[in-house]
A and B are shown apart, each in its own frame.
Chain A
């Protein structure tokens, strides 16, 4: 008990989570008289999980893209497609960010790569400053539910759910978020009748030609995954190799000597995620053996009886969780424990995944420690309180979206084919 409290305090002081998790797993082993050596076997379990190679490969591809001029090309292309509408620039921002986040795996690079282009452009078009700040901050995690984002893949690996199913299930909920935020943006921009520019086939053609190397990428990757031609880990390998080839050898936007630095930079996040995964295998296996999910279930059963009230409880829990933990640690630590509980209440595991990730997406924006808030504050040199305030309306809208996603399972499940 005392040691548990000490671990909690260390965690709040900012101890690396993997060390905390390893410590709690070992305490559990000690209590049960299991040889502590067992933790090594559990960490080696990283090497027996399927599809895991997708995580380093997609992350690497995402970092490469964000270091190249691809973000600029993406903004130009979306601008050519959507810029003719009044309030078009806000929609451009939302659309471009969603695509970019999906491909770079929600690691905060979107705000840095795209925000730097979009924020000044929005200011130039005389949108209210707080709106711009909130929009860019929110957009940084918007594509989370679209394939092939890292959290979706990680949830699939952990929950042993088909990743293809998750990719299908994320489409409509992700679009719902986009539409709701888009609607809000248009409403804010209603006084601003100024269009970005008239629609022109000439500009669209030029933008397409400029992005001709990147356009095949989503088509091949998403087409390949959705048609079942290749597994997600294979898609990741193709993406990484293709992006490497295009950005370094064809477009030459990243010099070869910079490559080791980009690789190293991208692997920092991967190392952080995978080492937590390794030690969590130990702690969750121990907790499942010790019957922790059943104990939580017994406790939860006293509080709620229906699926609807369970979902409400889940939603509140995930909001709190998202405010303290990053999305990757949360998936690895919590999903194995709530899966059996959710199953008791008849919640579909694919739907649970979408709800989990959608709620965790809010965590990027919830004060006090939402990751996007800090990145935006740092990147745009705004006081953190200002960013909290600017992001709040967007947070409320996304929260509404998450509630809809939670209580409307069909939205996630209708594209799966079988009910």
Chain B
């Protein structure tokens, strides 16, 4: 993620320098930037799953005591894990279909697109872990 963000700044600024001073630039740079945004979006999304920072409607977490919120939280985690699993599976199917396509002149598209199934699979796993933690808390309260 750090490399991607740094890379993005360099490519984007490089592009401006080329345009202003040499009135040129690379056709692929713009596409590269957009693909970097895609990768950042998904990798950052994994990070958001790990830190439990996905955007959500925050009513239960603010107003229901933790003790009673456990079952809803478990339902939510199970659901999120399942959805990420479905997303991972469906995007895996799409990636297999895109073998043979190319992006950025001659990079195989599947290499770039494979971030999709990978990221969703990791997120599915994260939500599952969180589900497991809550479930253990429910069975044996007080243990961390």
- Chain A contacts to B: CB under 8 angstroms: 10-19, 22-23, 26, 36-37, 39-41, 43-44, 46-49, 52-53, 55-57, 60, 230, 233-234, 236-238, 240-241, 244, 259-260, 263-264, 267-278, 324-326, 328-329, 368-369, 374, 384
Contact = CB atoms under 8 A, between A and B. Distances in A.
B60 interface: yes
A233 B9 CA distance: 10
B55 to A, nearest CB: 4
Contact of A16 (B8, B55, B86): B55
Contacts of A238: 13, 16
Contact of B76 (A10, A233, A369): A10
B121 interface: no
A271 B37 contact: no
B105 interface: no
Nearest to A271: B44
B48 interface: yes
B57 to A, nearest CB: 6
A39 B87 CA distance: 8
Nearest to B56: A14
B83 A22 contact: yes
Contacts of B51: 268
18 contacts: A13-B73, A14-B60, A14-B73, A16-B55, A16-B76, A37-B94, A40-B93, A40-B116, A46-B37, A46-B41, A47-B37, A237-B16, A241-B10, A267-B5, A268-B53, A275-B42, A278-B41, A369-B58
Given A23-B83, A259-B2, A263-B2, A272 B55 contact: yes
A196 to B, nearest CB: 36
B40 A274 contact: yes
A15 B44 contact: no
Interface in B65-109: 72-73, 75-76, 79-80, 83-84, 86-87, 90-91, 93-95, 97
B62 A46 contact: no
6 A-B pairs with least C-beta separation: A271-B44, A237-B12, A274-B41, A16-B54, A40-B91, A40-B94
Interface residues of B, number: 56
B61 to A, nearest CB: 6
B78 to A, nearest CB: 10
A56 B40 contact: yes
A269 B54 CA distance: 8
B8 A53 contact: yes
Contacts of A48: 34
B122 interface: no
A230 B19 CA distance: 10
Contact of B90 (A40, A269, A369): A40
Contacts of B59: 12, 14, 368-369
B63 to A, nearest CB: 7
Contact of A37 (B36, B45, B79, B93): B93
Nearest to A45: B38
B84 A19 contact: yes
A211 to B, nearest CB: 23
A59 to B, nearest CB: 10
Given A46-B41, A272-B55, 15 more contacts: A10-B76, A17-B54, A36-B86, A39-B91, A40-B95, A47-B37, A48-B34, A56-B5, A56-B8, A57-B5, A233-B33, A234-B12, A264-B2, A271-B42, A271-B47
A329 B55 contact: yes
Contacts of B60: 12-14
Contacts of B44: 56, 267-268, 270-272, 274
Contacts of B93: 37, 40
A132 B60 CA distance: 29
B72 A326 contact: no
A395 to B, nearest CB: 18
Contacts of A230: 16
A39 B1 contact: no
Interface string B23-46: 000000000011111101111111
Nearest to B40: A56
B115 to A, nearest CB: 10
A44 B113 contact: yes
Contacts of B56: 11, 14-17
A14 B10 CA distance: 38
A13 B41 contact: no
Given A17-B57, A270-B40, A270-B44, A10 B75 contact: yes
